[in-house]
Amino acid sequence: MIDFLGNLERTHYCGELRAANAGQEVVLMGWVNRRRDHGSLIFLDLRDRTGISQIVLDKDLIPDGHAKGEQIRPEYVVAAVGKVRLRAADSINPKMDTGEIEIAATELLVLNDSALAPFSPSEDAIQNEEVRLKYRYVDLRRPEMQHNFRLRHDIMLAIRENLSKQGFLEIETPILTKSTPEGARDFLVPSRVHPGEFYALPQSPQIFKQILMISGFDKYFQIARCFRDEDLRADRQLEFTQIDLEMSFPHQETVFGVAEQFMVAAFAAAGVTLPAPFPRITYDESIRQYGCDKPDMRLPGLVDVRPAFTDENLDALKIDKALPVVALRIPNVGELSRKEREDNHPLFELKKGAKFIDDFKRLAKGFPEAAVKVRELAAAAEGDFVIIVAGDPDHPVKASDTKFPGRLSEREISVYTAAGNFRTELAKKYADKHGAFATTDEAVKEAAAPAPQGGGKLPVSAKGAFEPIWITDFPMFEYDSAIAKWMPAHHPFTAPHEDDMANLLTDPASVRANCYDLAMNGLELGSGSIRIHRKDVQQQIFQSLGISDEEAHKRFGFFLDALEYGTPPHGGIALGLDRIVMLLAGAPSLREVIAFPKTAKAIDLMVDAPTTVTAEQLKELHIRVALKS
């Protein structure tokens, strides 16, 4: 019963037809979303990537088409030839874009049948994600997924166009290459022609983009695939896509300007106006104000409430006087019962050597003045939930004593980050009450809604919904107390601040990196830096990182050589495309915006990868597998 396509050509997409098309002869092709059999009339909802049109098979008009219609099942592929007509007033469907019309079929071709899919693309919520991933081709037919990938395409195109307009050239760099030190594990590919040797997949195009600057390209970009063998999370995949760029002779602000422009263009492509310039905050300020280096600015930050307490108060409350005392505020939560408060306690990370006070009534009884002052300092309104976080003298964290002048100590950071984590966890829990995240959901929905018929649509404002922020002045080194050594906080090509260069070997604690992150809504979108362009400084950095000359030459000899041949000052950035699309799609995970993602267990369920390979393949690659039994 399967028909040939023959010479038939599609005239319209299913989602395009409106009342104005009434009377036109059309040819539609697509999948049967639903079939309703009303005896002599059979209705098919025909779906393609643009939407759905209703096809009517009238037994009197096309008896053979109607007979085929009786056999048709969901997901059959059909072509319908017919005339667009207005629906009777009582059968108009205002929920459908094409709800005013239907197609009275004069010919119906069944182009293919379909096995019964484990779920229908017409279902809204499919609970079992594993089934979705195994039958990804069916899953991707869902309107929501079609929307996400249309959005992804539009965003990528806008970024490409924008960067091209800003003078950047798109240049591809190798996938089979040598290890790039981004701090993750490499994926290795054995070489057949060089027994026992391996290529690494790039963790990023970092070294190549720097070499492209040495090569005189001035401005490079690439929508680049990166590979990092890490444990997976909702916002992390083994392979992901970066908007990667590098430019010659920039200052930090030059890179910010470029990135802001393409971000504005990307958001505009999704129907959102993103105001630029984005705010800037130093790493230290970010830790103090938000307890993390990727602040979610949609909610109030942390407030220093140390001035609300006397030393005696703090002694009585068993609070470490030398450490910060901060308050976090979640708006509109209302008063919580003791049980409700206790349910929140597991969300607090005790191991950070911090403690918290969330029973305000009790605090107000014992320390009435302090309690009033805390709420005042935190600008807390009546229904706002306020929690104080401070250092616990009874639980000092291990790295407690590393205090270097001019720098936040590990213990201070511990208190701030304990407060920051509690803030984000509680914000998630009380999202319904404070409503800050709903603003983002509403903006996403509004931006995705089709323009009203015949009219244009104003872009949606990002204000309160998408809050970007630059984080600057990260410390160059982190102290690893376990091995009593300063370790790099970033990849080793990151330049130190020019002002701090003299302290590189003498006082590493004081050295700030010339690097920056872009965060939005609590998500790190990416990072970049001004690079080291002098061989002597690069060698010094390797040295200060404990990389011996020999090792540096083995791993990066080609790059150190390249640095000798007239390297311009240069810098750049890489932002995660998948994360940007995830935000603009309002998706809960990267898997919703990557066509063929891996599961949390690093498996591609559709193609069933990874798998074992044949003995011959292994032999050719000079590899023997030794599995522990």
Stretch that binds ligand ASP, among 29-37, 420-428, 562-570, 572-580 (CB under 6 A): 572-580
Question: Six-digit token pair at 565?
Answer: 């041949």
Query: Can residue 250 be called a binding residue for ligand ASP (CB under 6 A)?
Result: no
Give the span between the Cα atoms of 246 and 217, in whole angstroms. 9
- Nearest distance, CB of residue 147 and ligand ASP, angstroms: 28
Stretch that binds ligand ASP, among 143-151, 359-367, 418-426, 569-577 (CB under 6 A): 569-577
Stretch that binds ligand ASP, among 83-91, 551-559, 571-579, 595-603 (CB under 6 A): 571-579
Stretch that binds ligand ASP, among 6-14, 80-88, 256-264, 570-578 (CB under 6 A): 570-578
> Which listed residue (69, 295, 572, 597) binds ligand ASP by CB under 6 A?
572
The sign of the CA dihedral 187, 190, 196, 200 is: negative
| CB contact set of 616 (below 8 Å; sequence gap of 6+) | none
Task: Give 288 or 570: the residue with its C-beta nearer to ligand ASP.
Answer: 570
Binding mask 137-176 for ligand ASP (x = CB under 6 A): ----------------------------------------
> Which listed residue (241, 521, 529, 538) binds ligand ASP by CB under 6 A?
529
Query: Can residue 514 be called a binding residue for ligand ASP (CB under 6 A)?
Result: no
Task: Give 15 or 576: the residue with its C-beta nearer to ligand ASP.
Answer: 576
Omega cis (within 30) before 610: yes
Q: If binding means CB under 6 A, how many residues of this protein chain bind ligand ASP?
A: 9
Which segments of 495-600 are extended strands (E)?
Answer: 515-520, 523-530, 570-576
DSSP string, 426-468: HHHHTHHHH-HHHHHHHHHHHHHSPPPTT---PPEE-TTTS-E
Give the span between the Cα atoms of 338 and 533, in whole angstroms. 58
Give the span between the Cα atoms of 225 and 370, in whole angstroms. 53
The residue sitting closest to ligand ASP, measured at its beta carbon, is 204
For residue 36, give the nearest of 17, 52, 50 by alpha carbon: 52
How many degrees, rounded to 5, is the angle at CA 95 between CA 89 and CA 97?
A: 90
Query: Can residue 286 be called a binding residue for ligand ASP (CB under 6 A)?
Result: no
- Nearest distance, CB of residue 239 and ligand ASP, angstroms: 13
Task: Give 201 or 460: the residue with its C-beta nearer to ligand ASP.
Answer: 201
Task: Give 29 or 575: the residue with its C-beta nearer to ligand ASP.
Answer: 575
Burial of 311 (0-12, 13-18, 19+ CB in 10 A): exposed
> Which listed residue (241, 527, 538, 567) binds ligand ASP by CB under 6 A?
527
Q: Can you give 321-389 as a three-state secondary structure string?
A: CCCCEEEEEECCCCCCCHHHHHHHHHHCCHHHCEEEECCHHHHHHHCHHHHHHHHHHCCCCCCCEEEEE
The answer to whether residues 447 and 460 touch, using CB atoms and an 8 Å cutoff, is yes
Stretch that binds ligand ASP, among 6-14, 294-302, 496-504, 521-529 (CB under 6 A): 521-529
Task: Give 184 or 509: the residue with its C-beta nearer to ligand ASP.
Answer: 184
Task: Give 103 or 573: the residue with its C-beta nearer to ligand ASP.
Answer: 573
- Nearest distance, CB of residue 410 and ligand ASP, angstroms: 24
Question: Six-digit token pair at 40?
Answer: 């002599």
Query: Can residue 210 be called a binding residue for ligand ASP (CB under 6 A)?
Result: no
Binding mask 172-191 for ligand ASP (x = CB under 6 A): ----------x---------
For residue 277, give the nearest of 292, 290, 295, 263 by alpha carbon: 263
- Nearest distance, CB of residue 490 and ligand ASP, angstroms: 8
The answer to whether residues 344 and 429 touch, using CB atoms and an 8 Å cutoff, is yes
Question: Six-digit token pair at 478?
Answer: 């982190």
Beta bridge partners of 82: 26, 105
Stretch that binds ligand ASP, among 385-393, 524-532, 589-597, 618-626 (CB under 6 A): 524-532
The answer to whether residues 311 and 367 touch, using CB atoms and an 8 Å cutoff, is no
The Cα-based distances of 119 to 141, 196, 607 in angstroms read: 11, 46, 19
- Nearest distance, CB of residue 33 and ligand ASP, angstroms: 42
Q: What 3-state DSSP class applies to 606?
A: coil
> Which listed residue (302, 388, 574, 590) binds ligand ASP by CB under 6 A?
574
**Cβ-based neighbour number of residue 124 at 10 Å:** 7
> Which listed residue (33, 54, 204, 510) binds ligand ASP by CB under 6 A?
204
DSSP string, 119-147: S-TT-S----HHHHHHTHHHHTTSHHHHH
Query: Can residue 472 be called a binding residue for ligand ASP (CB under 6 A)?
Result: no
How many degrees, rounded to 5, is the angle at CA 11 between CA 9 and CA 12?
A: 135
- Nearest distance, CB of residue 225 and ligand ASP, angstroms: 12
The Cα-based distances of 125 to 35, 119, 370, 595 in angstroms read: 20, 10, 49, 18
Query: Can residue 53 be called a binding residue for ligand ASP (CB under 6 A)?
Result: no
- Nearest distance, CB of residue 287 and ligand ASP, angstroms: 20
> Which listed residue (243, 573, 585, 590) binds ligand ASP by CB under 6 A?
573
- Nearest distance, CB of residue 588 and ligand ASP, angstroms: 24
Beta strands at 77-86 and 51-58: parallel, antiparallel or unpaired: unpaired
Task: Give 355 or 512: the residue with its C-beta nearer to ligand ASP.
Answer: 512
Stretch that binds ligand ASP, among 213-221, 370-378, 473-481, 568-576 (CB under 6 A): 568-576
Give the span between the Cα atoms of 483 and 546, in whole angstroms. 12
Stretch that binds ligand ASP, among 85-93, 278-286, 450-458, 567-575 (CB under 6 A): 567-575
> Which listed residue (21, 162, 173, 206) binds ligand ASP by CB under 6 A?
206
Task: Give 237 or 527: the residue with its C-beta nearer to ligand ASP.
Answer: 527
- Nearest distance, CB of residue 159 and ligand ASP, angstroms: 15
> Which listed residue (301, 475, 528, 597) binds ligand ASP by CB under 6 A?
528
Task: Give 204 or 510: the residue with its C-beta nearer to ligand ASP.
Answer: 204
- Nearest distance, CB of residue 558 and ligand ASP, angstroms: 17
Please identify which residue in the block is written with the tokens 């603009």.
584
Tell which positions 475-494 bind ligand ASP, by CB under 6 A: none
Report how far apart the first and last C-alpha atoms of the chain are (Å, whole number): 53
Name the site residues for ligand ASP (rule: CB under 6 A).
182, 204, 206, 527-529, 572-574
